[in-house]
Chains A and B, each alone.
Chain A
Amino acid sequence: MTQLAGEQPDRPVGRIRFMNAQRVNLDGFAIEDPGLGLVALASPGDPTPSLVITDGRVTELDGVAEADFDAIDAYIARHGLDLAVAPAAMALSDLAFARLLAHPDVPRAEVVTLVAGATPAKLARVLALLRPPELIAAMAKLRARRTPSNQAHVTNRLDDPLLLAADSATAAAFGFREIETTVPVLADAPSNAVACLIGAAVGAQGVLIQCSVEEALELELGMRGLTSYAETISLYGTEQVFTDGDDTPWSKAFLTSAYASRGMKMRVSSGAGAEVLMAGAEGKSMLYLESRCVALARAIGAQGVQNGGIDGASVAASVPGGLRELMAENVMVMARNLESCSGNDALMSESDMRRTSRTLPIVLAGSDFMFSGFGSIQRYDNMFGPSNFNAEDIDDFLAMQRDWGVDGGLRTVPADQIAALRRDAAQACRAVYRHLGLADFSDEHVERAVDAAGSKDLGETDTLAVVGAAQAIREGGITVVDVVAALDEAGYEAEADRIMAMTRARLAGDYLQTSAIFDERLGVLSLVTDPNDYAGPGTGYEPSAERQREINAIRQARGVDDLRAEQARFAAPLLAVSGPAAAGQDPREVVIGVSPAVGRDVWRCLSGLTVPQVLAELLAGLEEEGCTGRVVRFGDTVDLGRIGLAAARLAGSGIGIGLQGKGTALIHRRDLAPLANLELYSVAPTVTPELYRLLGANAARHAKGATPDPARNPYSDEAIEARYHTTVIALMALERAWVRPDAGPEELSMEGLR
């Protein structure tokens, strides 16, 4: 006997047990605790905004006197604020300021100028006032680059170079303009950089490459031209955590210049939750601490910021208003006139709905980079940890772009093109490794890398060979010149050319400007060359007609012609017209009426059964109950009720079965109204042969004057309509095309149906 909840006080009722079992309840939710920094937008511990300027020098910042400035205050006070506009910015009420950010009529330039004079506490308070639709409006207006874009993670558990190359080519083909790799084994880093460089060059022109590792090594790879940008230069919102991270604002400022001195693009990384995780939030809100980071990023001269939680995204997501805070971080970066690489790169929930809810507003608004790493590889291969969206979600993302008509930076690539690019990339990578004496990979390894959906498909690989190759790259001083030479020698001239062209383009330095990416013709799109001019409807970025077609043309889309061709594959030499249909006299005769395109353009039902198979089952059901059937096609209507009723009126028994080519079926009687019926299978995709047979048998029972237990639609909790409605529309169009108002009923041959 089932134990009832009432008899066991600790056990929740079934409804609650059911809810508890949903995936969202695997997530951790924290009670707000300002003491621990577990508070999103505002904490009692946040300072009141203040700015005192004495003789052109900041002598008080957000309640702290100059003598007490910590390192972060000191750097921001000295370098981060435009003191000419600061008095006006600080005098403006928080609300008036917030309205400037959100209102489309206020130009971006005006906001950016004013924000340059706002202290961290001031800007945090202003951003905290923006509600979700206002955050979206502010992001659409304030992002620096007009054209939105996207970044991919490309990594795998084995650091397998051939797979990295194939996956980089794939990511580049999908449209990602930056590829970020990292390593499970630090020593492998140089090999990963080379493999991704080659693969991306195969996939598309102008893709920037990053190898996220320890800072000195990362800089070294950049100095050798193997990578072209960096973004994991971390900033923190408190001095203690900053110092624990083994840096200071001055060391980071210097590092920022060091990257630029080698012609490398870089952005810094910050985001909510980092200080909380280190138990170093000092009672401040996440948004305020991040505001310090963003102000510092601007002060040290970084062109952009990766934030929106990043590693701490799930910390922010655990508190009330957390997702709002994450988006506010991105908008704050844009308001400081910097490039935003907008997070979404850490799986922040076990729930598909929550992780979509986290990302969607940013996709709708558009960002310089919507993800600071969309996992272009499978979750298990993401060595940053799973991203919020991964290879599992690429088709979802492409559909989302299409659904909303927005440009998320990705596009559909035909399957044969993906195959060809992956092969080229794996082979080119093998050729370079062989030519440079780094490693030798087998044909089978290439084949596996081409076909692999992830590193688990590679089988056993020689991971020591990767370590060896990486060591040879590092110690042998391999540079981009060596890679180009090797590609060229191995016959990959186009790829060699692409890398050299990008190397030349980088020397101009245009891509060091805010929000810069290369387009596929190596044009630079940035704050300077492609400034965002959004000012409400009809302004700002709009996909070109060509780009919109690309967004719309997902590979799953089908039209009537596709369906006609598919139906034609099931055409059979059956159901020929044997003559005009007349009324029958036999009281045991049931007429099966079919729709106009049956036996012409429509041959297969939504269930996958062919129309002849369905007719055979219906006829068999009739015969089981001692009745006979014949098949009549009605050419004057597509309406199943009218077809069924017309069939009933021809039948000697007065009972008819109506069958549309898509498989919907009903039993009708000659004296009923067209829209009435005796039994109906409305969910055509789920009807089985047994159920059609039952419908035939029940029609016979009605013919004999009995009252059978009605056949019922099989139950389904799947999105049947989502799956079949487009096919239904096309099938009905095929049916409609055969309608002739004056068409009389036609008797169809039953030859071959039994």
Chain B
Amino acid sequence: MSDQRIVALSGRPVEDLTVQAVRDGEVSLPDLRIHPAALEHQAEVAERHANPQLAENLRRAAELTVLGDAEVLAIYDALRPGRSTPAQLTRLAESLAGRGLPRCAALVAEAAQVYARRGLSA
């Protein structure tokens, strides 16, 4: 995406992320995290290259950039077999939808349905 200015999740342009900046103590982890705009751009590229599923994944990822690491891991754990009741998953889905993560919400909501039918719920 050389035609676009690339910024880190923190909003800093990537050109700023140099060893000198590290030396000056001006780089922290959010400066090294990918920005949702970059993921959205990649989703468009994936779509153009015959992989809508990869595009969807990258758009879910774009949503997840707003969540902290611990919460991401907690959601993953909630989706593992036998961890959550259908109601818990449904509430999780609603919460995600409410916070602007509609694609992740849809994934969790769908899991709630299938888990209930296939005995994968707590």
Contacts and interface: CB of A to CB of B under 8 A. Distances in A.
Per DSSP, chain A at the interface is helix
Interface of chain B: mostly helix, strand, loop or mixed: helix
Interface residues of A, number: 67
A255 B45 contact: no
B19 to A, nearest CB: 5
Interface string B83-98: 0000000000000000
A302 interface: yes
B69 A78 contact: no
A225 interface: yes
Interface in B16-33: 17-19, 22-23, 27-29, 32-33
Contacts of A80: 53
Given A243-B81, A257-B104, A258-B64, A513 B23 contact: no
B76 A255 contact: yes
Contacts of B115: 248, 250
B6 A260 contact: no
A262 B108 CA distance: 20
A299 B8 contact: no
Contacts of A503: 17, 32
B30 to A, nearest CB: 11
Contacts of A722: none
Interface stretch (A215-223, A355-363, A386-394, A396-404): A215-223
A443 interface: no
A579 B51 CA distance: 84
A503 B28 CA distance: 12
A254 B79 contact: yes
A337 B120 contact: no
B22 A250 contact: no
Nearest to A256: B57
Interface in A233-265: 239, 243, 246-248, 250-251, 253-263
A81 B108 CA distance: 20
B19 A254 contact: no
A480 interface: yes
Residue in B35, B51, B108, B110 with the greatest tally of chain A CB atoms within 10 Å:
B51
A21 interface: no
B17 A500 contact: yes
A508 to B, nearest CB: 5
A545 B28 CA distance: 43
B120 to A, nearest CB: 6
B120 A527 contact: no
Contacts of A509: 1, 34, 38-39, 41-42, 58
Contact of A504 (B14, B23, B56): B14
Nearest to A255: B76
Given A251-B80, A262-B69, A497-B19, 6 more contacts: A113-B50, A219-B72, A219-B73, A254-B104, A261-B61, A301-B57
Interface of B: 1, 6-8, 14-15, 17-19, 22-23, 27-29, 32-35, 38-39, 41-42, 45-46, 49-58, 60-65, 67, 69, 72-73, 75-77, 79-81, 104, 107-108, 110-111, 114-115, 118, 120
22 contacts: A79-B53, A112-B50, A116-B50, A219-B73, A219-B76, A250-B110, A254-B107, A255-B76, A256-B57, A257-B61, A261-B64, A261-B65, A262-B69, A300-B53, A303-B51, A303-B54, A488-B19, A507-B6, A507-B14, A507-B38, A510-B42, A513-B42
Interface of A: 70-71, 74-75, 78-80, 82, 109, 112-113, 116, 215-216, 219-220, 223-225, 239, 243, 246-248, 250-251, 253-263, 298-303, 337-338, 479-481, 484-485, 488, 493, 496-497, 500, 503-504, 506-510, 512-514, 527-528
